Amino acid sequence: MAAAPETVMSDLIVRGSMDEIGAHVRRYLDAGIDTAFLALSTLEQEPARRRDVLLGAVRALAPATHSSSGP
């Protein structure tokens, strides 16, 4: 990591609140990236809480879906 410029690290490793992370991912999408891979992590050690934290992150970052109101 020491050999990589800080700008590369900050572009590739997204950290922050769910709003900050979501905004960063949206910048990728707005720039034309249509496939992304997210590797989520947490420092939470308790298994049930860890699962809840990661599931919450997936839900917060998932694209919004819209149901159609007709054929």
pLDDT tens digits along 42-58 = 999 999 999 999 999 98
DSSP summary character for residue 13: S
pLDDT at 7 (0 to 100): 85
28 vs 69, residue with greater confidence: 28
Using left for φ > 0, alpha for ψ between -120 and 50, and beta otherwise, residue 2 falls in alpha
Overall pTM surpassing 0.75 (yes/no): no
pLDDT at 48 (0 to 100): 97
